[in-house]
A and B are shown apart, each in its own frame.
Chain A
Amino acid sequence: GENVEQHPSTLSVQEGDSAVIKCTYSDSASNYFPWYKQELGKRPQLIIDIRSNVGEKKDQRIAVTLNKTAKHFSLHITETQPEDSAVYFCAASTLSGNTDKLIFGTGTRLQVFP
């Protein structure tokens, strides 16, 4: 079935450094790839997304890249800050009939140390 793998499971960086989280997906029909940030006890919050017709997208300090051939996409956070500390989930979505569904990765716990 559909599967999304995410690495690493934990990531610790010093404030100001960059952080990279990588995901691979199995369903070649997937065409939408969002990233969610989840702080402890809170809802998953959509922070950036990319569609399959785009290779890269940037929004201030965060960027996402997509390699459709390799079925691989990544989240890049530059100039990390302590408030970036959270669990980050990647997801892949395939349009099926009238709706889509998100298949999530297993999450990356990012800790940014001051």
Chain B
Amino acid sequence: EPEVTQTPSHQVTQMGQEVILRCVPISNHLYFYWYRQILGQKVEFLVSFYNNEISEKSEIFDDQFSVERPDGSNFTLKIRSTKLEDSAMYFCASSEIYYEQYFGPGTRLTVT
């Protein structure tokens, strides 16, 4: 069964550095999402993406964040200048139509 994949599984970075988190959605899916989960807390919506553009973004998704689909398979989340509070698990999700979102295994981002 196809699954969403994410790399790396764990990223450690220093405050102020740029990070790029990568995702490969399920191949026939058209809708892509990023969520984050701070340790022990609920999953929070960051951004949705469809037809090569952002559809919706949350208050968390400020100017430091950007998303891109650079080719036919990858979907990336970039954080330009990381802060300590960006430490979290970042999940990519995709869906064939809206609803029924399938999550990747996550990237644990640790900002020191």
Taking the complex as formed, is A61 at the interface, i.e. its CB lies under 8 A from any CB of chain B? no
In the assembled complex, the Cα of A105 lies from the Cα of B41 at a distance in Å of: 10
In the assembled complex, the Cα of A62 lies from the Cα of B2 at a distance in Å of: 24
Query: Contact: B43 with A46, CB < 8 Å?
Result: no
Within 8 A of A (CB), among B58-104: 58, 91, 98-104
Within 8 A of A (CB), among B26-46: 31, 33, 35, 41-45
Query: Contact: B106 with A43, CB < 8 Å?
Result: yes
Query: Contact: B45 with A34, CB < 8 Å?
Result: no
Query: Contact: A98 with B50, CB < 8 Å?
Result: yes
Q: Mark A38-65, 1 if CB is under 8 A from B, else 0.
A: 0000111110010100000000000000
**B-side interface size class:** 20 to 34
Contacts of B102 in A (CB 8 A): 46
Which chain B residue shows the least CB distance to A103? B45
Contacts of A101 in B (CB 8 A): 33, 45, 48, 56, 58
Query: Contact: B91 with A104, CB < 8 Å?
Result: no
Contacts of A95 in B (CB 8 A): 98
Query: Contact: B31 with A99, CB < 8 Å?
Result: yes
Binding site for A on B (CB under 8 A): 4, 31, 33, 35, 41-45, 48-51, 55-56, 58, 91, 98-106
Closest 7 CB pairs of A and B: A99-B55, A99-B48, A43-B103, A104-B43, A101-B45, A100-B98, A104-B42
For the complex with contacts A98-B55, A106-B42, 16 further pairs of A-B residues with Cβ separation under 8 Å are A43-B91, A43-B106, A44-B103, A45-B103, A46-B101, A49-B99, A96-B55, A97-B55, A98-B31, A99-B33, A99-B48, A99-B56, A101-B33, A102-B33, A102-B43, A104-B43
